[in-house]
Amino acid sequence: MQNLSVQTVIVNYNAGAWLPRAVSSALNCIPGPVTVIDNASYDGSVQGLRDLIKDARLKIIQNADNVGFAAANNQVLVNLDTDCVVLMNPDCELEPSAWPSIRDVMLADQSIGLAGARILNADGSDQKTSKRDFPTPIQALLRLLGLGRLSRRDFDRGKEPNKRHPGDYGIEYVDAISGAFMVARAAAIEEVGVLDEGYFMHCEDLDWCKRFWLSGYKVAWVGTARLVHAKGVSSSVRPARVLWYMHRGMDRFFCKFEGKKYNPVFRAVIRFCIYLLYLPRALLALIRKVR
């Protein structure tokens, strides 16, 4: 049977006990090497990984500073020597179906440049961000206000897969998949380019999906590929800062792909609202952390 060579990249920042779980599941599920790039963690997670996992396929790169998600992944993406690369968060745990399902789909359709999986919460429910639309300015504002369901497109596609298509977890071509788990074709990356390092964290996955589509490649969601994502393990220490990067990333995505479609006044209003909404969200996150 035809196969695809593959390597896995996991960017770590204070993921604690989740890091060896993620690495172990990747080593068990995905053939090929696993590279962990640590962004100056201080929680002992890298040492814990070294103590628990003794596998020749594991390589660890320790950065002196936190360079961000995109820049860390690009340390490997700029010099790929395999057919595909898996980018995976350190708070994910793969089920055995994850790589084989996506491998078969990418072998069958060479136009798929980027593929994602069905992402589950710890309780088995679906994470709605595993497949999504590209946000329009209005949709983005509604989501930031917690009113995403008022947007019809968001309501139709953003719902959990098992509620939208009962019993159907096949292949869908979607605008975007989650950056928690992405499988990219190396040949496509040569055309699309690596991750945009202008995003420190958040929205770089949306940006990459957009560029794959603009370059003529499909982005696929493969429902038979499954994994659990704890979500927010690394970001829980500094929630306000993470929210800042999220809003800044949203602003960058808007300016890069949508801003030129609107007149300067409307564009300025949208950008102002993005940052204005950061303040109450950051305050609420800080209050919750204190509690």
Strand partners, 116: 221
Banded pLDDT at 201 (limits 50, 70, 90): confident
Whether 279 is covered by a domain: the verdict is no
119-151 burial: b if 16+ Cβ within 10 Å, else e:
bbeeeeebbbbbbbbbbebebbbbbbeeebeeb
As a whole number of angstroms, the distance between CA 246 and CA 241 comes to 9
Supply the pLDDT for residue 195.
98
pLDDT above 70 for 184: yes
| pLDDT value for 287 | 73
State pLDDT tens for residues 116-152. Answer: 999 999 899 999 889 999 987 776 666 656 665 555 4
Q: Which of 207, 229, 227 is nearest to 117 (CA)?
A: 227
pLDDT reported for residue 89: 97
Residue 241 lies in a domain: no
3-state secondary structure of 192: helix
pLDDT reading at 165 higher than 50: no
Strand intervals (E) in the chain:
6-12, 34-39, 58-63, 84-88, 92-94, 112-120, 131-132, 171-173, 176-177, 181-185, 218-229
Q: Report the pLDDT value the prediction gives residue 192, as an integer from 0 to 100.
A: 98
pTM score of the predicted model: 0.85
pLDDT at 158: 38
* CATH number of the CATH domain containing 170: 3.90.550.10
User: What is the count of structural domains for the chain?
Assistant: 1
Three-class DSSP category at 48: helix
Taking only the tens place, the pLDDT of each residue in 231-264 is: 766 555 567 888 888 888 888 998 898 888 888 8
Domain membership of residue 215 (yes or no) is yes
Confidence at 291, pLDDT banded by 50, 70, 90: low
In a domain, 200, yes or no: yes
pLDDT at 273: 82
CB-based burial label for 164 (10 Å; 0-12, 13-18, 19+)? middle
3-state secondary structure 113-157: EEEEEEEECCCCCECHHHEECCCCHHHHHHHHCCCHHHCHHHHHH
Tell whether 46 is covered by a domain. yes
Rounded Cα gap, residues 149 and 158, in angstroms: 9
Contact 80, 183 (CB under 8 A): no
163: left (phi over 0), alpha (psi -120 to 50) or beta: alpha
Could you list the residue range(s) of the whole structural domain that residue 48 is in? 6-135+144-233
> Does any domain span residue 283?
no
Residue 260 covered by a domain? no
Per-residue pLDDT, 161: 36
Three-class secondary structure of residue 84 per DSSP: strand
257 inside domain: no
191-204: average pLDDT: 94
